[in-house]
A and B are shown apart, each in its own frame.
Chain A
Amino acid sequence: MVASHPDVGADGHDSLLDRLDTLTIVPRRAVVARWVPGVVLAGLAAWLVVTVARSPNLDWGVVGDYLFAEPVLRGVGVTLVLTAATMVSGLLIGGVLALMRQSRNPVAIAVGAAYVWFFRGTPLLVQLVFWFNLALLFPRLGVGLPGTGLGWTAETNHVITPFVAALCGLALHEAAYMAEIIRGGFLAVPQGQIDAALTIGMTRGRAVRRIAVPQAVQVILPPLGNQFILILKGTSMVSVIGGGDLLTRSQQIYGMNYQVIALLMVASIWYLVLVSISSVGQYFLERVVRGQAEGGLLRRVVRNAFGGRR
């Protein structure tokens, strides 16, 4: 059987073994298997782009006209403010909720769990519409001492503007997700790390701040970046209550000039740009927190807040 192979002569294996070093290795090339699907896919993608781009119903001139129009830019601003405010308040409330669920107080654990259950269990859209219509439940809002008449009250509809309703809905909904992300980050820190911190004389609070938090941040950051992008796009939902964001503005414009697709294109371009910038930011932030990046202001801030030295 072996002898019938063309490369192995009558003298068997030895002659082939002797010549192996002199032979060139030719890698196997999957030419057809790689190129055919590639060409087909590229063709389909090109066809799709060209079809949309050259559609007579999509006026690129209009897209260009509105891309930097003042109302659109204001919408971008509102979207950014809503995203940042939601992120910050979501993190703060979520952090408190995570602490409650990690505590030894059964009431705090139950309240924290109930919050997450409710605000993660109902759709964001429903919560936004609810906050917008809060006046139907409480016509007046106020703070004061019950029964004394002292204090301050106001018409709910004056306090809960569409923007405030949007912020309440987004932040309270987001806090439930943040709570779970933060809790997961702290669960990922082994108990041994806290034990070791206690044995060098740290109190529990200091051990959490100096040891658990910086390690948890490394775990929390990737899902947090994901969450930021979800919030950024999720703000478009406030358009149902006229929140004044990018999508609201685009809808208001196409409501007047009927250039629906062109203005959705404008909105999509802005969302893509914003998400792309956040992705780049996330990449660098993760590198800094893992300590892979050199020097830099942010690294020093992070180190001074949580690090070992200085």
Chain B
Amino acid sequence: MSARGSLVLRGIRKSFAGTEVLRGIDLEVAPGEVVCLLGPSGSGKSTLLRCVNHLERVDAGFVLVDGILVGYEPRGGRLHESSEKDTARLRRRMGMVFQHFNLFTHLSALDNVMLGPVRVLGRDAADAERDARALLARVGLKDHAGKRPGRLSGGQQQRVAIARALAMDPSVLLFDEPTSALDPELVGEVLAVMRDLAGQGMTMVVVTHEIGFAQEVADTAVFMDGGVIVESGPARRVLSSPSSARTAEFLAHVL
């Protein structure tokens, strides 16, 4: 359970302005497992991802990544809230890919990928550049290293964002609707990169509406509605013969 790449969520609760968005989420992800989070908009999927890496503070519940508690330090029989520095250090174990890419607009693709290794990990610039170029080649963008995000297509930007997340050598990758903002013909190139990562044993939690991708790549499908997990299980089983009527209704609408 404490192996690199494991993720455990226990009783996660989160409210915004009196509205409870997450109402007790339990989830365990094994190293190398690919989990797809499905559900209607407003069901709390994106909020859950943001809670996992502490971009949002949880109201209750705990997150463990690689067996380490996120945001708190057990000391003398109590849980002390971690310093910002310690939380930032732990966050490196979780890469995140956003719906709107969120590439640093003032930096080239290469600088986007190098920024973390050089500025956060303190790595040598030449080494980091070599690795960053290799990562860009891996997502098929060898020839676009010098371009600013504004000169790249959405699909290219999202692949740079994946390379940026990989550059920190994370244990877990979190994807927040990575293809929802893309033109239909660009979705495939991003999904192909994600399929490769899954094949190489990366632990992934993917919020998505791409049922086909979930069927093909995910080990586990989790269906959320109204801030709770309605159903979860092997992806093929949940997506082809869901046991909950709510899941079946949702899938009928999406497919």
| Interfacial residues, chain A to chain B (CB-CB below 8 A) | 190, 192-193, 195-204, 206, 210-211, 214-215, 218, 291, 307-310
**A196-B125 in contact given A210-B119, A218-B106 (Cβ < 8 Å):** no
List of A residues within 8 angstroms of B119 by Cβ: 202, 206, 210, 308
List of A residues within 8 angstroms of B168 by Cβ: 200-201
Is B55 on the interface with A (CB-CB < 8 A)? yes
State the CA gap A299–B20 with chains docked (Å). Answer: 48
**The stretch of B3-11, B90-98, B239-247 that contacts the partner chain:** B90-98
List 25 A-B residue pairs with CB atoms under 8 Å apart, sorted by A's residue number: A192-B100, A193-B104, A195-B102, A196-B98, A196-B103, A198-B55, A199-B91, A199-B94, A199-B95, A199-B96, A200-B120, A200-B164, A202-B116, A202-B120, A203-B84, A204-B84, A206-B120, A214-B106, A291-B106, A291-B148, A307-B111, A308-B115, A308-B118, A308-B119, A309-B118
Question: Please, what's the 1-or-0 string for B102-136, where 1 marks a CB less than 8 Å from any CB in chain A?
Answer: 11111110011011101111000100010000000
List of B residues within 8 angstroms of A200 by Cβ: 92, 95, 115-116, 120, 164-165, 167-168
State the CA gap A254–B218 with chains docked (Å). Answer: 86
List of B residues within 8 angstroms of A218 by Cβ: 106
Interchain nearest-CB distance for A36 vs B (Å) = 45
Interface contact B105-A215, CB-CB below 8 Å: yes
Interchain nearest-CB distance for B165 vs A (Å) = 7
Is B89 on the interface with A (CB-CB < 8 A)? yes
Can you add 20 more A-B contacts, CB < 8 Å, to A291-B106, A309-B118, A309-B125? A193-B104, A196-B98, A196-B102, A196-B103, A196-B104, A197-B104, A198-B55, A198-B88, A200-B167, A201-B121, A202-B116, A202-B120, A203-B84, A203-B85, A218-B106, A308-B111, A308-B114, A308-B115, A308-B118, A309-B111
Is B53 on the interface with A (CB-CB < 8 A)? yes
State the CA gap A190–B121 with chains docked (Å). Answer: 25
| Interfacial residues, chain B to chain A (CB-CB below 8 A) | 53, 55, 84-85, 88-89, 91-92, 94-96, 98, 100, 102-108, 111-112, 114-116, 118-121, 125, 129, 148, 161, 164-165, 167-168
State the CA gap A80–B205 with chains docked (Å). Answer: 59
List of B residues within 8 angstroms of A192 by Cβ: 98, 100, 102
At the interface, is chain A mostly helix, strand, loop or mixed? helix
State the CA gap A194–B99 with chains docked (Å). Answer: 15
Interface contact A307-B120, CB-CB below 8 Å: no
List of B residues within 8 angstroms of A201 by Cβ: 88-89, 91-92, 116, 120-121, 168
Counting from the closest, the 4 A-B pairs by CB-CB distance are A308-B111, A200-B116, A201-B92, A196-B102
State the CA gap A35–B232 with chains docked (Å). Answer: 77
List of B residues within 8 angstroms of A195 by Cβ: 55, 96, 98, 102
**A308-B112 in contact given A192-B102, A195-B98, A201-B168 (Cβ < 8 Å):** yes
Interchain nearest-CB distance for B164 vs A (Å) = 7
**A308-B107 in contact given A199-B96, A199-B165, A202-B119 (Cβ < 8 Å):** yes
State the CA gap A102–B147 with chains docked (Å). Answer: 32
* Option from B89, B104, B125, B161 in Cβ contact (under 8 Å) with A211: B104
List of B residues within 8 angstroms of A203 by Cβ: 84-85, 88
List of B residues within 8 angstroms of A198 by Cβ: 55, 88, 91
State the CA gap A203–B53 with chains docked (Å). Answer: 13
Nearest A residue to B83, CB-CB: A203
**A199-B120 in contact given A193-B102, A307-B111, A308-B104 (Cβ < 8 Å):** no
State the CA gap A201–B105 with chains docked (Å). Answer: 18
Interface contact B115-A210, CB-CB below 8 Å: yes
Name the residue among A190, A192, A203, A291 with the largest chain B CB count within 10 angstroms: A203
List of B residues within 8 angstroms of A206 by Cβ: 119-120
Interchain nearest-CB distance for A165 vs B (Å) = 41
State the CA gap A196–B164 with chains docked (Å). Answer: 10
List of A residues within 8 angstroms of B96 by Cβ: 195-196, 199
List of B residues within 8 angstroms of A197 by Cβ: 104
Nearest B residue to A217, CB-CB: B106
List of B residues within 8 angstroms of A210 by Cβ: 115, 119
Interchain nearest-CB distance for A109 vs B (Å) = 19
State the CA gap A291–B129 with chains docked (Å). Answer: 20
List of A residues within 8 angstroms of B103 by Cβ: 196
List of A residues within 8 angstroms of B121 by Cβ: 201
List of B residues within 8 angstroms of A211 by Cβ: 104
State the CA gap A199–B116 with chains docked (Å). Answer: 9
State the CA gap A310–B129 with chains docked (Å). Answer: 10
State the CA gap A199–B94 with chains docked (Å). Answer: 7
Interchain nearest-CB distance for B136 vs A (Å) = 14
Name the residue among A197, A204, A309 with the largest chain B CB count within 10 angstroms: A309
Nearest A residue to B87, CB-CB: A203
State the CA gap A202–B114 with chains docked (Å). Answer: 13
State the CA gap A197–B129 with chains docked (Å). Answer: 18
Interface contact B53-A199, CB-CB below 8 Å: yes
Interchain nearest-CB distance for A211 vs B (Å) = 6
State the CA gap A166–B84 with chains docked (Å). Answer: 44
Name the residue among B98, B105, B121 with the largest chain A CB count within 10 angstroms: B105
State the CA gap A210–B114 with chains docked (Å). Answer: 13
**A215-B98 in contact given A195-B55, A200-B116, A202-B119 (Cβ < 8 Å):** no
